[in-house]
Amino acid sequence: MRNWPIAVTVFMKPGDYPEKEHEAVIQFMKLAAITDETASEANQRLSELCPSCTPLQLRSAAKWVYASQSLLDDWDFDVQTRGNEATVHITGSGDNESAATFALMKKKGRWTILTMKLTDKN
């Protein structure tokens, strides 16, 4: 019997653009963790959420989500907003000591990620 390679294509619709700062970060991290180069709609949203992100940064975000060993829904968020600028700091809950800090700016009514710093202490 011959083993044939199986190719799987996943179609993703990211949904509505997030309205709040931390929602933009959550959607970015979730999409970065599960998206590959074939998911055009998800990749389009990633480029809207973080226009200056490089492929290396996207891979780093995906690795951080996996390394944190926690669902985004279990993380603690500290959001500081000053007009059209915001900082979102995420920490893991319980024994998870992973942390991330995002700087965002609201442009044309949408929050976009300017920079991110990811720390994994697991």
3-state secondary structure the chain: CCCCCCCCCCCCCCCCCCCCHHHHHHHHHHHHHHCCCCCHHHHHHHHHHCCCCCHHHHHHHHHHHHHHCCCHHHCEEEEEEECCEEEEEEECCCCCCCEEEEEEEEECCEEEEEEEEEECCC
Which two tokens mark 51?
């226009």
Each residue's pLDDT tens digit, 17-31:
999 999 999 889 888
Residues of the chain with pLDDT under 50: 7-8
Instruction: Identify which of 108, 93, 86 has the alpha carbon closest to the alpha carbon of residue 24.
Output: 86
* Domain boundaries, position 30: 21-119
Residue-level pLDDT at 5: 58
54 belongs to a structural domain: yes
Q: Does residue 32 belong to any structural domain of this protein?
A: yes
Measured in residues, the chain has a length of: 122
In a domain, 99, yes or no: yes
Q: What are 27-49's pLDDT values in tens digits?
A: 898 888 876 666 678 788 999 99
pTM of the shown model: 0.80
What CATH number has the domain bearing residue 69? 3.10.450
Query: From the CB of residue 97, how many other CB atoms can be counted at a distance below 10 Å?
Result: 12
16 part of a folded domain: no
Q: Do the domain assignments include residue 1?
A: no
Give pLDDT, residue 4. Answer: 57
For residue 12, being part of any structural domain is answered with no
Q: What is the pLDDT of residue 40?
A: 76
**Position 15 in a domain:** no
Looking at the structure of the chain, the number of domains it has is: 1
Look at residue 104 in the predicted model and tell me its pLDDT: 97
